């Protein structure tokens, strides 16, 4: 229990059963990544259009409807919350399906979730995902 938090009924307890996986990928790889995750049985995901800078910041090119230079480059941020049991498999699936072998393929971040609650049923932890 973190210092300063009393142990009591209803208090937040740390659970290591749920992980949040965030992936920054190239937009044209989204469908392949989604299909690969669905094949694993992962259907709940959040997809956000983002722009960023990384090692490829000096690149230029055309994204549908926009030309970009050394400003921010269009990317997709994919967020998935999964059971700890399948987290490594989900990460490997994202990496394989998003990889082109070129600069800007993206990054994957994995975080522990302290608490996950499904609003409708109030189920917690793995029940919430």
Q: What is the pLDDT of residues 21-68, one digit of tens each?
A: 999 999 999 999 999 999 999 989 999 999 988 776 555 555 565 555
Please report whether residue 34 resides in a domain.
yes
How much is the pLDDT for 72?
87
The CA distances from residue 36 to 28, 43, 90, 91, 128, in Å, are 14, 10, 9, 11, 22
Please report whether residue 5 resides in a domain.
no
Count of domains for the chain: 1
Which structural domain range is residue 63 located in? 18-128
Please report whether residue 70 resides in a domain.
yes
Neighbours of 128 (CB within 10 A): 17
Whichever domain contains 76, its CATH number is 3.30.70.120
How much is the pLDDT for 59?
52
Please report whether residue 86 resides in a domain.
yes
How much is the pLDDT for 84?
92
Please report whether residue 1 resides in a domain.
no
Q: What is the pLDDT of residues 70-125, one digit of tens each?
A: 578 999 999 999 999 999 999 999 999 999 999 889 999 999 999 989 999 999 88
């Amino acid at each position: 229990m973190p210092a300063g938090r009393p142990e009591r009924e209803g208090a937040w307890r740390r659970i290591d059963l749920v992980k949040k996986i965030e992936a920054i990928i190239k937009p044209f790889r989204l469908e392949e990544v989604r299909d690969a995750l669905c094949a694993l049985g992962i259907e709940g995901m959040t997809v956000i259009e983002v722009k960023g800078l990384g090692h490829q910041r000096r690149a230029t090119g055309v994204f549908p409807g926009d030309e970009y230079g050394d400003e921010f480059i269009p990317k997709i941020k994919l967020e998935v919350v999964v059971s700890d049991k399948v987290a490594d498999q989900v990460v490997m699936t994202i990496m394989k399906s998003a990889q082109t072998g070129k600069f800007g393929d993206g990054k994957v971040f994995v975080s522990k979730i302290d608490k996950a609650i499904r609003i409708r049923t109030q189920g917690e932890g793995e029940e919430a995902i």
